[in-house]
Amino acid sequence: MYSMKIAALLLVGMAMAAMSVGALANGEDCNIKEVVGQTWLATGTVTDVDGQTFYMQGKDNNSYKIDTHKAEIMIGEVKVEHYLLKAGDTVRVYGTVGDGCKINASRVRIFTAEELSSGVLPEGAGPAKEVKIIIEKDTEPGCAPCGNQWRGRGLITYIDYLAKRLKVQTPAGHYTIDIGNVPLIYGATIIGLAQLNQGDAVKISGNIVGVNEVQAQTIRVTRSRSEAENSLPLTPASVAGLIEQVDYPSFTFRMRTENSELVISVDEDTVIQRQLTRISMLDLKPGMRVKMTGYGSPGTGYAAQHIQIISAP
C-alpha cells in the first residue's frame, strides 16, 4: 500500500511538471509576449530553414519560429507559388501567435534587392512598433494611441461584391477593406452592399489585419459618387515632375513639380511605361522625370492611371 502511494505521488508530480513545461511554452522563457491567437507582424532576417518552418532574427534581436504551412509567399507585391526561403532573406511576416512559442504565418513578404537598396524597410524594433508603421497616417483626431485600430477616409476605387471587399484610395495610399457583415450606413439609413459604387466617399474604422489591410468595424458613406464627382479627389489631373522618394510597400511615391510636392498612389491597374515598354512599380527610382495622369488634388494626393517616364538619371 505504501509503495502504491509513492507511485501515485510520483505520477502526480510528473503530471504537474509536464503542466509547468507546457505553461512556460508561451511564458517567461518565450520571446513572444503576445497572447496565443493575437495577430503578429514583424520584419527580420531568415537565419535557418527547416521545410515549411523557418527561424527569423527580428529587428528586436530575438529569434522567432515561423510556420508557413498556410502562408502565401510574396516577392515584393507579387504572389509566388514555388519559392524556397533561404538564410539571409529579409522578410516581413504577418500571422497569429500559436502554441509552442511560434508564429503561424498567413503571409510572408520577401523584400527584393531593389527594395533593400532603396532603404524601404520600416524603422522600429519588434512587432508592436511594426504595427504602428502600417496604421493609416490620416487617422481621426485622438487615434494616435489606438494600437492596431485604424480610422480613415477615402474614395472607393474597386468593389468585390462576392468577397465583400473594398479598395479605398486614402491620402496615405490604397487600402483593402474587408467588410464582412458590417452594416453600411448612409445618412441615417442602413444600405446594402449592392448600393455602393466606385467613387463613393467613405469613412471607415476597423482593425489592421495586414499590410494596408483593414477589417472594418464601421463603414459610413459620407458622399455618394454623384456628389463626389464634383469634389476635388476625382478631379482629373496631368502633371510632370521629378521623383524624389519611392515607398514600394505602400505603392506610393513623392514627386516634385515646379510649384509643389505631390504624393502619387499606384495600384495594379496603373500603366507605367518607359518609351513603349511597360514596366513595374519597382522600376521607378528617385531622380526620374515622369508625367502622371490620373485624378486627385494636392490636399488628398493623386491616384495614377498612367505614368510615362520622360527621362532617367
CA distance 26 to 198: 45
Return the percentage of the chain with pLDDT > 90, whole number.
Answer: 16
Task: Count Cα neighbours of 304 within 13 Å in the Cβ-side half-sphere.
Answer: 26
**Whole-number average pLDDT of the chain:** 75
* 91-96 mean pLDDT: 88
pLDDT digits (tens, 9 = 90+) for 99-109: 888 999 988 98
**What's this model's pTM, rounded to 2 decimal places?**
0.35
User: How far apart, in Å, are the Cα atoms of 183 and each of 153, 160, 180, 188, 195?
Assistant: 17, 16, 9, 12, 12
Q: Which residue has the higher pLDDT, 102 or 144?
A: 102
pLDDT of 124 over the 60 cut: no
The band of 10, judged by pLDDT with boundaries at 50, 70 and 90, is very low
CA distance 206 to 133: 16
pLDDT of 21 over the 60 cut: no
For the chain, where are the alpha helices, taking DSSP H only? 2-24, 113-118, 127-133, 225-228
pLDDT of residue 73: 87
CA distance 156 to 158: 6
CA distance 251 to 173: 7
pLDDT digits (tens, 9 = 90+) for 42-68: 888 898 888 889 999 887 778 899 999
* 60-81 mean pLDDT: 83
Q: Which residue has the higher pLDDT, 112 or 164?
A: 164
The DSSP secondary-structure symbol of 282 reads G
pLDDT of 80 over the 70 cut: yes
Q: Which of 1-15, 195-209, 228-242 has the lowest mean pLDDT?
A: 1-15
pLDDT digits (tens, 9 = 90+) for 261-305: 888 888 767 899 998 889 988 899 999 999 999 877 776 678 888
Q: Which residue has the higher pLDDT, 73 or 250?
A: 73
pLDDT of 138 over the 50 cut: no
* 112-128 mean pLDDT: 53
pLDDT of residue 143: 40
